[in-house]
């Protein structure tokens, strides 16, 4: 399956629908393999279904892991840590935009794999950050939603210096 980023940024403002393993809208294995390939080919950390030019809007994302990659269907954060760390983040849908985002250092999560089995894992550091970032996509929240308006404006201005104009992007929301 050939996949590419969607140019329709309004997809990113909508909450994802649950993936139905009993009646899958796409071949599960093909989707999982294609999403992992997409992430690896772009040297990205993850990608959510609603970032892609695919039919529907489903609760699925792929993320780079070590030693294995994960494709998470119907993911949930069960328990975030109380310890918060702040790091710079970017996003495939908004190249050139980087913002310093505070997130829990680790999180206990639950998701179904492409095989339909439910897994519970604890992710730490960058894997936890990636899981949380992709989860926000599935809930229609931009990655900069938790930063201040000042930090957002600075990130948008820095992106413009890098050649990316996000003047149509609003704080806490997206305008296409």
H or E element, residue 156: helix 149-161
State pLDDT tens for residues 81-110: 999 999 999 999 999 999 999 999 999 999
Residue 47 forms part of a structural domain: yes
Total domains, the chain: 1
Range of the domain at 96: 9-174
d(CA 102, CA 2): 34
CATH code assigned at 78: 3.90.45.10
Residue 81 forms part of a structural domain: yes
Q: What pLDDT is stored for residue 66 in this prediction?
A: 75
Question: Residues with catalytic annotation?
Answer: 134
Percent of the chain with pLDDT over 70: 99
pLDDT (mean) for 139-152:
86
State pLDDT tens for residues 30-62: 999 999 999 999 999 999 999 999 999 999 999
Whether the CB-CB separation of 151 and 99 falls below 8 Å is answered with yes
Residue 149 forms part of a structural domain: yes
In a 3-state reduction of DSSP, which class is residue 65? Answer: coil
Residue 3 forms part of a structural domain: no
The pairs formed by 81-88 with CB atoms below 8 angstroms and a separation of 24 or more are 81/105, 81/106, 81/107, 81/128, 87/129
Residue 1 forms part of a structural domain: no
State pLDDT tens for residues 60-85: 999 998 789 999 999 999 999 999 99
Residue 4 forms part of a structural domain: no
Q: What pLDDT is stored for residue 87 in this prediction?
A: 92
């Amino acid at each position: 399956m050939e996949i590419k980023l969607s140019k329709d940024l309004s997809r990113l403002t909508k909450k994802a629908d649950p993936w139905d393993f009993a009646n899958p809208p796409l071949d599960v294995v093909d989707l999982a393999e294609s999403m992992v390939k997409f992430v690896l080919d772009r040297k990205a950390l993850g990608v959510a279904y609603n970032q892609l030019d695919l039919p529907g809007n489903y609760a699925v994302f792929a993320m780079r892991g070590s030693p294995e990659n994960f494709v998470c269907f119907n993911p949930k954060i069960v328990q975030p840590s109380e310890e918060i760390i702040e790091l710079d983040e970017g996003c495939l849908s908004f190249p050139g935009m980087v913002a310093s985002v505070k997130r829990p250092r680790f999180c206990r999560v639950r998701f179904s794999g492409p095989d339909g089995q439910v897994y519970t894992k604890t992710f730490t550091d960058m894997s936890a950050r990636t899981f949380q970032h992709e989860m926000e996509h599935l809930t229609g929240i931009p990655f900069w939603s938790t930063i201040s308006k000042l930090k957002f404006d600075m990130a948008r201005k820095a992106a413009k210096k890098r050649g990316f104009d996000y003047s149509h992007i609003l704080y806490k929301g997206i305008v296409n």
